Amino acid sequence: MKTPYYAVIFTSILNQDSEGYLAMAEQMEGLAKEQKGFLGIDSARNEIGITISYWKDEESIKTWKQQNDHIMAQKMGKEKWYKSYSVRVARVEREYGFRL
Amino acid sequence: MKTPYYAVIFTSILNQDSEGYLAMAEQMEGLAKEQKGFLGIDSARNEIGITISYWKDEESIKTWKQQNDHIMAQKMGKEKWYKSYSVRVARVEREYGFRL
């Protein structure tokens, strides 16, 4: 991806009962991919879950944050699934890789 | 953490034979924590591994990149363990959370 662009770093710890979470997470990932300015997503979970979504600019991030179904998912997340979470919005300044 | 600060987003895919990788990764995490400007680290791995380390400034990131044992680990990583990886250096502009 061409820098600069933006990354939303979402880290979370789930409650013991996380019924319905996976389906919601997959649905939100599908929906994010349809948004304007979406560039990509990386996700992994062990004790902690990390999802990083990449975006063209801050405007795209704000629009996605306020998308209706996404607002509903955020609300359900707080009420049911997440023990805790943090969101960090970061500007990617440079990147390099190996055999990409 | 008080913004702005920096995040190094390291995503990787391992080769099938990753013997010795876990021990190295743990050693590097311990070493990172001793570096000047280190603020924290989050890590998870499924198909893809994601490690995000947080740093006070770009100077701290450059110093850590060039630390001797870390250079050796990077070299071993390319030769033995990583099928591919990417490194993104990003400036964290804002953060918020829930029950942190």
Residue among B3, B48, B50, B81 with most chain A CBs within 10 A, to mutate: B50
Residues of chain A with pLDDT under 70: none
Query: Any CB–CB contact under 8 A between A15 and chain B?
Result: no
So what's the ipTM on this one? 0.94
Q: What is the 3-state secondary structure (H, E, C) of chain B?
A: CCCCEEEEEEEEEECCCCCCHHHHHHHHHHHHHCCCCEEEEEEEECCCEEEEEEECCHHHHHHHHCCHHHHHHHHHHHHHHEEEEEEEEEEEEEEEEECC
Q: For residue range B15-36, list pLDDT tens digits in order.
A: 999 899 999 999 999 999 999 9
